[in-house]
Structure 1
Amino acid sequence: MGTKIQKGRLKTVSDDLFLFHALINNKNLTKIKSQLIITILN
């Protein structure tokens, strides 16, 4: 039982990290996209 709880907790932590990285990547992507759009408009 104890190991199951620990594994579940580890999984949620790694899921949170994954989401966190995805958010950071999304921000970078949006920045790159806006820069591309600005370049195209100019």
Structure 2
Amino acid sequence: SSQPWTKAECQVLINFIIENHLAGQPMHKHIWKACLESSS
């Protein structure tokens, strides 16, 4: 059972993805999208 991520956790993840240039990878796009949806 996974808890919804907070906006702070989401921002950390997104910053990590951007800094590591992973935003174009399908898996990371999925994680990013799921994160934004769960934190809204």
Same fold (TM over 0.5): no
Higher helix share: 1
- Does 1 or 2 have the higher relative contact order (CA < 8 Å, sep 6+)? 2
Please give the TM-score of this superposition, normalised by the length of structure 1: 0.38
Please give the TM-score of this superposition, normalised by the length of structure 2: 0.40
